[in-house]
Amino acid sequence: MDIIVKGRHTYVPEAFRETVTEKLKKFETILPKAQAMEVEISHENNPKLVDQRIRVEITVISSGPIIRAEAANNEALTAFDSALEKLNERLRRARDKAKDHHFNRTLSAKGEGADSFDAAKLEAELKQEAQLAKTSAVLTDQPVTYADESILEALASIGETVEAKLGSSPVTVRKKVHAAEKLSVAEAIERMELVGHDFYAFMHESTGRMAVAYRRHGWKYGIIELA
């Protein structure tokens, strides 16, 4: 498993790189199918966020869905440790869910539902996960920054990330291009939880429309579809 430590528009101290690499080595046994773990460190220039000026993001790239966690603090290692704690919790949830899924499938195979097992569907799911892993690997590239905001309107290839400032204002917009995936609502919410985001864009497998799953209060979620 590759361990990648990089900075986004910032220098990464060698001591931080060595400490992070050492702490992540244990995941080689926890995540035997993981292709890489990526740690990205960035600085927040907003003076109002002095206690959260350093942001650390950890991403697990494997044959399954992306798993990501991030945290911010005024100390890089503290931010990393907080992000690592969140990542451990998400990995635990993913393992528990996988065990439940395997257990339910085993019971179905032993009972009356054995004839309903769909090998073609399983093969299609495995191909979809492989394609997702391939896309995930592309998305690990460093973003390219442009001064001209017209780049935000231009067509871009899958996996490309660009940044631009809006005119003479200090507002910066980042644009990412992802491959559209056909998912159920449950799958979209699961992916959203694994990356720790408050929303997740996907293509609804039933309607074929582009949709966004988003987090509401508590354990409530919402879905927005584009007609």
Give residue-wise pLDDT tens across range 23-53.
Answer: 998 888 877 778 889 999 988 776 666 667 8
- The whole-model pTM stands at 0.54
pLDDT at 78: 92
Give residue-wise pLDDT tens across range 58-90.
Answer: 998 887 778 888 888 888 899 999 999 888 888
Q: How far apart are CA 169 and CA 18, in angstroms?
A: 38
Q: What angle do CA 7, 136, 67 make, to 5 degrees?
A: 80
pLDDT at 136: 41
71 beta partners = 56
By C-alpha distance, which of 33, 24, 29 is closest to 3?
A: 24
pLDDT at 139: 40
CATH 3.30.160.100 range(s) for the chain read 1-118
If one counts every other C-beta atom within 10 angstroms of the C-beta of residue 24, the result is 22
pLDDT at 47: 64
CATH 3.30.505.50 range(s) for the chain read 180-227
202 Ramachandran zone, left/alpha/beta (phi>0; psi -120 to 50): beta
Low-confidence stretches of the chain (pLDDT < 50) are 102-103, 106-107, 110, 112-117, 130, 132-142
CATH 3.40.50.300 assigned to 180-227: no
* CATH class of the 1-118 domain in this structure: alpha beta
Q: Is the dihedral of CA 63, 66, 71, 76 positive or negative?
A: positive
pLDDT at 26: 85
pLDDT at 147: 56
Q: What is the DSSP string of 102-143?
A: HHHHHHHHHSGGGGG--HHHHHHHHHHHHHHHHHHHHTTSPP
